[in-house]
Amino acid sequence: MRRLAAAAAVCALLLTGCSADGGGADSGRITLRFQSLAWQQESVDANKELVKEWNTSHPDIRVEYVQGSWDSVHDQLLTSFEGGEAPDIIHDASDDLADFAYGGYLADLSGLLPERLTADIPRQSWESATFGKGVYGVPFLQEPRVLIANKKILDSSGVRIPTAGKPWSWEEFRQVTKTLTEEMGEGKYGVAWPLKEPVSVTLNLGLSAGGQLFHRGDDGKVTIKFTDGDGVVPGTVHDQVNTDKSASRTTLGMGGSDTLPGFFGGKYAMVPLGFSYRQQIVQQAPKGFEWTVLPAPAGPGGPAQGVSPQTLSVAEDTPHKKEAARFIDFMLQPRNMVRLAKGDWMLPTGSKALADPALHTDEAGWSTGAALARDLRSAPAQSVRGYPEWKDKVATPALQEYYSGAIDAPELEKRLVNDGNLVLSRYQR
């Protein structure tokens, strides 16, 4: 009996001892919670430093840095919104905002942001965070998809080296990968497409060939149509893998990081990756490994491609929207945007930040990326309701089967369009 009583006492002690809230007492000043998804050391440091600078210069509006994580951020935010416990300032990606914006969880920032910031960020970037008539996030970092190439293999092959001003066409790219594969020999490939998540890659690069797939009618409803432009990128990848054998079949199911060992080992001459992967390459590449950053292939419409920028939003429930918007304005001052961009190895959206000389060096391909920035557009599908379901249930399996050669182009088109429109119609009744 005494043992039971002792155990109960221990439980009570444990519970009372660990019930501290973790938050400080409210001393009258405003406290805003800023949930950041920064995860790389340099990026976390930059965010924390900026919060510290803000707190020093704004003693009346204290900002508390809260570390979030990309993993499960949607579920975590959704629960927080439902429970009325969301952070005041929210870091996320624009392709995750649609549900929150339409659900009324995010504040419309139109009218809250200063003209300086509104004018500094190009219209096409604002489109990525505009849902209906409202603006629900400030896009501040973005990354194009680029070709990371083995410089030695490329130079020795004699192929034309593309520049941001004169990228390869999709047809030229296919020819180049064939040439490289022939020169590299057995078991090696001109390109390795990491297509574990094939939908965003296909749609975003598809813009360069005039692909759009999602078409909004006069009534505001979105339908899927498959045009010739929509077939260029998937057709190129399919043919590289199945016809030319110039792209590795095994990497189709891999994530970007998984392809790096093969790339470093000279198994692949090029890997299409997000711009921020350069950080991993700098860290992990063997000594003496020479690499370069090339623009992604372009179509008749130029090197346009879709991106889903990282955003800063304000929770609708916060009573301090103006103060939160002031903090966002501070975070995204041009010099601060540059610090954040360098920390994340990405490009800033702001025109003034983008002009910073630090982002125009040839080192690690910064200048190539910066030159691509003006051609970045809002990812085609991110404001479409029902897109996540279409992506998971229809497009991902269909594209995976097409790229592996299990189905042909007409079947791919049929699935993307017919099955896709059935999904979208449920969201647009």
Partner 1 sequence: MTTPRTSRSGRAGQYVALLCYLVFLAFPFLWLISTAFKPPRELGSLHPTWIPDDPTLDNFRQAFDEQPLLRAAGNSLIAALSAALIAVVIATPMAYVMARNRNKLSAAATGWVVVSQAFPFVLVIIPLFLILKNLHLINTLSGLIMVYVVWSLPFALWMLGGYVRAVPRELEEAASVDGAGRLRTLVSVTAPLLAPGIVATALFAFITAWNEFFFALVLLKTPQTQTLPVVLTHFLGAEGVADLGPLAAAAFLATIPSLVIFAIIQKRITGGMLTGAVKS
State in angstroms the smallest separation of the CB of 333 from partner 1: 24
State in angstroms the smallest separation of the CB of 115 from partner 1: 31
Pick out residues in 389-418 that bind partner 1 (CB under 8 A). Answer: none
Pick out residues in 158-187 that bind partner 1 (CB under 8 A). Answer: none
Q: Which is nearer to partner 1, 84 or 165 (CB)?
A: 84
Count of residues touching partner 1 (by CB under 8 A): 59
State in angstroms the smallest separation of the CB of 226 from partner 1: 26
Q: Which is nearer to partner 1, 3 or 123 (CB)?
A: 3
What secondary structure, in 3-state letters, does the chain show?
CHHHHHHHHHHHHHHHHCCCCCCCCCCCCEEEEEEECCCCHHHHHHHHHHHHHHHHHCCCEEEEEEECCCCCHHHHHHHHHHCCCCCCEEEEEHHHCHHHHHCCCECCCCCCCCHHHHHHCCHHHHHCCEECCEECCEEEEECCEEEEEEHHHHHHHCCCCCCCCCCCEHHHHHHHHHHHHHHHCCCCEEECCCCCCHHHHHHHHHHHHCCCCEEECCCCCEEECCCHHHHHHHHHHHHHHHHHCCECCHHHHCCHHHHHHHHHCCCEEEEEEEHHHHHHHHHHCCCCCCEEEEECCEECCECCEEECCEEEEEECCCCCHHHHHHHHHHHCCHHHHHHHHHHHCCEECCHHHHCCHHHCCCHHHHHHHHHHHHHEEECCCCCCCCHHHHHHHHHHHHHHHHHHCCCCHHHHHHHHHHHHHHHHHHHCC
Question: What is the per-residue binding string for partner 1 in 46-75, x denoting contact by CB under 8 A?
Answer: ------------------x-xx-xxxx--x
How far is the C-alpha of 238 from the C-alpha of 401, rounded, in Å?
Answer: 10
Among 30, 112, 161, 285, binds partner 1 (CB under 8 A): 285
Size of the chain, expressed as the number of residues it contains: 429
Q: Does 283 bind partner 1 (CB under 8 A)?
A: yes
With contacts defined by CB under 8 A, name the span among 12-20, 104-112, 123-131, 351-359 that binds partner 1: 12-20
Q: Which is nearer to partner 1, 176 or 269 (CB)?
A: 269
With contacts defined by CB under 8 A, name the span among 249-257, 334-342, 354-362, 371-379 that binds partner 1: 249-257
Q: Which is nearer to partner 1, 55 or 76 (CB)?
A: 76
Q: Does 31 bind partner 1 (CB under 8 A)?
A: no
Q: Does 133 bind partner 1 (CB under 8 A)?
A: no
Among 256, 295, 348, 380, binds partner 1 (CB under 8 A): 256
How far is the C-alpha of 308 from the C-alpha of 323, rounded, in Å?
Answer: 26
Among 277, 387, 390, 403, binds partner 1 (CB under 8 A): 277
The values of phi and psi at residue 304, to 5°, are: -65, 145
Q: Does 257 bind partner 1 (CB under 8 A)?
A: yes
Q: Does 250 bind partner 1 (CB under 8 A)?
A: no
Among 103, 114, 255, 300, binds partner 1 (CB under 8 A): 255
Among 29, 53, 79, 302, binds partner 1 (CB under 8 A): 79
Pick out residues in 194-223 that bind partner 1 (CB under 8 A). Answer: 196-197
**Residues in the site for partner 1, rule: CB under 8 A?**
1, 3-4, 7-8, 10-11, 14-15, 17-23, 33, 37, 39-41, 44, 64, 66-67, 69-72, 75-76, 79-80, 82-85, 87, 93, 196-197, 255-257, 260-262, 264-265, 267, 274, 276-277, 280, 283-287
